[in-house]
Copies of this chain bind each other. A is one copy, B any other.
Amino acid sequence: METIAPLAKLIEHFRSLPGIGAKSAVRLAYHVLDMEPAKAQALASAITEARERIGFCPVCCNLTDVNPCRICSSDKRDRSIICVVEQPQDVAAIERMHDYHGLYHVLHGALSPLDGIGPDRLRIKELLSRLNDEAVKEVIIATDPDVEGEATSMYLARLLKPLGLKVTRIAHGLPVGGDLEYADEITLAKAMENRVTL
């Protein structure tokens, strides 16, 4: 059996990416060999460049290629609100909404004692130092609506409330366009509990 070492290596690399199985990895590798050399080179450079030029904002810990990031340095953002999220992807999701104009703080994870992730593994120290310095009045906790996200939310609430801040949590409820009949019990209970007056 003929083995082409650089091809086998490329397949192996693609295979290690999330969501790429054995067959997809082979398909991607052959596609790269079929690309124009300049395009393949551009793909390789995009990977290197993204990794080299993107780092963490020293203020909010989000990904950025400028220091501090464009949101932290913007004069159009409301500096009295910080929205705390787990991942940089969550910032991108909230920004897509075009409706939130405060600042962010990225924890880079959620509390998960079983996985050995305690408060010291999250960017909580950085968050606390911002609360001392800045004119922050409200912290919105927008961690994921799962067990780890809830635990993180409760931990942060206990930590931040004594500082005299307004601490809020994004609402749980039925997703818009969803079907009440198929909602799980916990979501439905939360939706009832958090009902609003019309």
What is the interface of chain A, defined by CB distance below 8 A to chain B? 1-2, 4-7, 9-10, 12-13, 17-20, 24, 26-33, 35, 37, 40-54, 63-65, 69-71, 87-89, 91-92, 95-96, 98
- CB atoms of A9 and B46 under 8 A apart: yes
State whether A47 and B54 are in contact (beta carbons under 8 Å apart), knowing that A1-B95, A63-B7 are contacts in the complex. no
With A18-B31, A31-B18, A65-B5 already in contact, the answer to whether A40 and B51 are too (CB < 8 A) is yes
If A13-B47, A30-B87, A44-B47 are given as contacts, then 5 extra A-B residue pairs at C-beta distance below 8 Å, sorted by A number, are A12-B46, A33-B50, A33-B63, A37-B51, A47-B47
In the complex, the answer to whether A28 meets B33 with C-beta atoms within 8 Å is no
Q: With the chains together, A71 CA to B98 CA distance in Å?
A: 58
Least Cβ–Cβ distance between A147 and chain B, in angstroms: 22
Expressed in whole angstroms, the Cα–Cα distance for A63 and B49 within the complex equals 29
Contact B13 A29 (CB under 8 A): no
Residue in B1, B5, B40, B47 whose beta carbon sits within 8 Å of that of A98 in the complex: B1
Q: A7-B50, A47-B10 are in contact. Are A95 and B2 (CB under 8 A)?
A: yes
Please state if B51 and A47 are interface contacts (CB–CB under 8 Å): no
**Please, which residues of chain B bring their CB within 8 A of the CB of A37?**
51-52
Q: Are B43 and A47 in contact (CB under 8 A)?
A: yes
* CB-contact partner of A6 in B17, B50, B87, under 8 A: B50
Closest CB pairs A-B (n = 3): A40-B51, A44-B44, A44-B47
Pick from B32, B50, B98: contact of A9, CB under 8 Å: B50
| Chain B neighbourhood of A27, CB < 8 A | 18-19
From A66, which residue of chain B is reached at the shortest CB distance?
B4
